Chain A
Amino acid sequence: MILKIDNLHKRFGGIKAIDDVSFTVNEGEIIAVVGPNGAGKTTLLNLISGFIKPDKGKILFKGRDITGMSPSKIAELGIARTFQIPRPLHKLPTIFNIVIPLLSPRVKRLTGGVGDELVRAIDILEEVGFERDSDYIRKPAGLLPHGYLKRIELARALALRPEILLLDELLSGLSRPEVTSILPLLTRLKDRGFTIIMVEHRVRDVSAIADRMIVLNEGVKIMEGTPEEVMTNEKVIEIYVGRRGELA
């Protein structure tokens, strides 16, 4: 058990964004957190990554209480995240987007400060699907198409050499071919030992690679189980179909 979420609560004004959510994550797993819009998925990620503080409850990373720590401290400990709306460093070339995490204390500690950051940055970009010699690597990141921005997000998280990857709707807004090229990449990452928690809106896509799924609705954990159990659960279907029928 690498991560333990314990009775997490978070309110925004009068809205219960996260209402008593608990679950555990084992090392090397892909966990998919799914649910309709406004279910509290992104809030959950923001809570784990420290961007917002919970009102109540605990988050334990490898037995250590990380509740209320700053985002940079949590990243430093080995939980890296991506953002749903890509947040590249617009004015800096793509490659420098990846150099930034490579300059973090965590990476320096893990690598002993050896090696050229630029070289490693290109390796990581290649890993997430950039062509080694493409113009995109030198262009300001703000000019890249959406699909590549999502890859920059992933590359930035990977550059941190994390133990847990928190992926916030990595697949949203991607075309079908892009999705089919990223899914195997995630499986490869899992095989390399990363623990992945992915928040997704589209259940079908992630059910193919997830080991377990957690369903959120209006801040409450509805159920947890294997993709098959979730996909056939009536309550889940009701939530999705009742709202917009995207499961089918």
Chain B
Amino acid sequence: MYEALVIILIYGTVLGFTLALVAIGLSLIYGVARIINFAHGAFFAISAYSLYYFFVSIKLNLILSIFFSLVITALVGGALYRIALDRIRGMELNEMIVTLACAIATIEILREIFAPAPLGVPTFIPGQIYIGTYIVEMQRVLIVITSVISLILLWLFIKKTKYGIAMRAVAQDEDAAMLMGINPEFMSMLAMMVSAILAGFAGIIIAPTQTVALENAWYALLNGIAIVILGGLGSLWGSLVAAFIIGYAEVAVATFLSSHLKTVIALIAILVVLVIKPSGIFGKHRELEERV
């Protein structure tokens, strides 16, 4: 039992950080552009497959591979916004269907380019460390460290840089932001790219610990959706906390029951939140928004 708890703690933390990167991206684009992006999981897959291509197929060095993969993911994110979403902004239903269709198109294209079978990516740093008597691969430690760094970078970007502040302004009041000379269209595209990079980075760092597979895109999306609903749509802090709740819960289910059942956590989380507190555990200003 004690052993199981330690496993849940370690693996849950690692998973929690990865999911946090995915979900915060999803939350960010909802917060800024009010877009529910079903293509978010596709970003996760694109970067993982790009990494496979650069790092394994053409044997580029690691840093460059990661860099190029992220650039590709960001460009896809930007293109998704510019080409597809720009024309249908504000039509929530169309936005959702189009992003879902884009996700499917991306995944099917990846299926055509790469083999449909899962692919393997070698670990970025070899070795392992001991936590007590438990062996933890260095790759997982790396996931935690780099996730923390990216989250801090994101925080600095949002709080300190010109673009980050402009983005927050758009999130709060698009019309007012526009009057201040901020271009909401551009900020939404930028948010989409940042959100793509976050999901993409999660796809990259977690790739060596699992296989690169198309299903992961749906797994990432499904968890992302559960986390943003649990944390409250558009609340970044809520997403961070909810990511860990889901992360620990999924590892616990996978440990005690079956790894196939871990996705059940996502559905249960969504349904329970919608029954008890539809605004999510941290969505406090929700009611103000829905004021009639």
Contacts and interface: CB of A to CB of B under 8 A. Distances in A.
Interface stretch (B58-66, B210-218, B284-292): B284-292
A43 B292 CA distance: 8
A223 B292 CA distance: 26
B285 A51 contact: no
Bin chain A's interface residue count.
Answer: under 10
Contacts of B288: 12-13
A46 interface: yes
A46 B292 contact: yes
Contacts of B284: 13
Contacts of A52: 287, 291-292
Contacts of B285: 12-13
Nearest to B290: A52
Contacts of A42: 291-292
B242 to A, nearest CB: 20
A43 B287 CA distance: 11
Interface in B242-292: 284-285, 287-288, 291-292
Interface string A29-63: 00000000000001100100001100000000000
A23 to B, nearest CB: 21
A83 interface: yes
B281 to A, nearest CB: 16
A121 to B, nearest CB: 24
A51 B290 CA distance: 9
A40 B292 CA distance: 12
A155 to B, nearest CB: 19
A235 to B, nearest CB: 27
A51 B292 contact: yes
Interface string A3-32: 000000000110000000000000000000
Interface in A146-199: none
Nearest to B292: A51
B149 to A, nearest CB: 32
A52 B284 CA distance: 14
A77 B110 CA distance: 58
A9 B287 CA distance: 15
B182 to A, nearest CB: 24
Nearest to B288: A12
Nearest to A13: B285
B263 to A, nearest CB: 33
Contacts of A51: 292
Interface of A: 12-13, 42-43, 46, 51-52, 83
Pairs A-B, 10 closest by C-beta atoms? A12-B288, A51-B292, A46-B292, A13-B285, A13-B288, A13-B284, A12-B287, A52-B287, A83-B292, A46-B291
11 contacts: A12-B291, A13-B285, A13-B288, A42-B291, A42-B292, A46-B291, A46-B292, A51-B292, A52-B287, A52-B291, A83-B292
Interface of B: 284-285, 287-288, 291-292
Given A12-B285, A12-B291, A46-B291, 14 more contacts: A12-B287, A12-B288, A13-B284, A13-B285, A13-B288, A42-B291, A42-B292, A43-B291, A46-B292, A51-B292, A52-B287, A52-B291, A52-B292, A83-B292
